[in-house]
C-alpha cells in the first residue's frame, strides 16, 4: 500500500476511489487536486479513512480547496465561517454561504456576491433576514432560487403556490414566447 500510495496520479486516484485501506495522507493529497468522479461521488472526502479532525490547520492554506477542509473540522466555529465569508476565492465564499454557522447579518453579504454561485447559495440560507428574502422573492432574477429558502413561512409558500396556479404561465415563459405581459 505504501509503495502504491506514492505511485503516479492515476494509481493514487484508483486507490482513493476503490481501496478501503487507502491511508489518510494519500486521501488528503488527492483531495488537493481531484474533485471527484461520477463513478465514486464524494471521494476522497467521503472515504472512511479521510481525516475528520485536525483540519483547522488548513485554515491558512494558500490553496482555496485545501482551506475548505478547515470548515469540516469539529472544532470549526462561527468566527472561521465569518472570516471565510470574506475569502477572495468564490469556492470558499460559496461553501460558507450555505454554512449553518453563518449569522443573519453575515448572510446578507454573500447575497450580493459578484459570483452567481455564491449568491444562489446565500439566497437559500435560512438565516437570510426576512426583508432581504422578500426583496429577492419579488425580483424575477432571484425569485426562483430564493423560493427554495427553507425559512419562508408556510403561509407565504401557500400564497406563492396559489398565485402560480392562478397564472397559466410564468413571466419567463411569456418572455420566451415574445409576449411582454403574460396576463
| pLDDT tens, residue by residue, 49-80 | 999 999 999 999 999 999 999 999 999 999 99
Closest Cα partner for 104 from 139, 141, 140, 78?
78
| pLDDT tens, residue by residue, 95-133 | 999 999 999 989 999 999 999 999 999 999 999 999 999
Angle, in degrees to the nearest 10, between helices 116-123 and 104-111 = 140
| pLDDT tens, residue by residue, 152-173 | 988 888 887 887 776 655 555 6
Which residue, chain included where needed, has cell 424575477? 140
pTM: predicted TM-score of the whole model, two decimal places: 0.79
CA dihedral of residues 144, 145, 149, 155 (deg, nearest 10): -10
Amino acid at each position: 500500500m505504501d509503495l502504491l500510495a506514492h505511485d503516479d496520479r492515476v494509481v493514487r486516484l484508483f486507490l482513493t476511489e476503490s481501496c478501503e485501506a487507502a491511508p489518510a495522507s494519500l486521501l488528503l493529497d488527492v483531495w488537493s487536486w481531484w474533485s471527484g468522479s461520477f463513478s465514486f461521488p464524494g471521494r476522497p472526502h467521503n472515504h472512511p479513512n479521510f481525516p475528520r479532525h485536525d483540519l483547522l490547520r488548513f485554515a491558512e492554506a494558500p490553496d482555496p480547496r485545501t482551506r475548505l477542509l478547515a470548515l469540516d473540522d469539529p472544532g470549526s466555529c462561527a468566527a472561521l465561517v465569518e472570516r471565510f465569508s470574506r475569502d477572495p476565492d468564490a469556492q470558499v465564499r460559496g461553501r460558507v454561504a450555505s454554512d449553518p454557522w453563518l449569522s443573519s447579518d453575515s448572510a446578507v453579504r454573500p447575497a450580493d456576491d459578484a459570483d452567481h454561485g455564491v449568491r444562489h447559495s446565500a439566497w437559500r440560507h435560512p438565516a437570510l433576514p426576512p426583508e432581504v428574502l422578500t426583496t429577492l422573492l419579488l425580483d424575477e432574477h432571484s425569485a426562483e432560487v430564493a423560493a427554495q429558502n427553507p425559512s419562508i413561512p408556510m403561509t407565504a409558500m401557500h400564497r406563492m403556490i396559489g398565485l402560480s396556479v392562478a397564472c397559466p404561465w410564468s413571466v419567463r415563459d411569456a418572455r420566451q414566447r415574445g409576449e411582454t405581459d403574460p396576463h
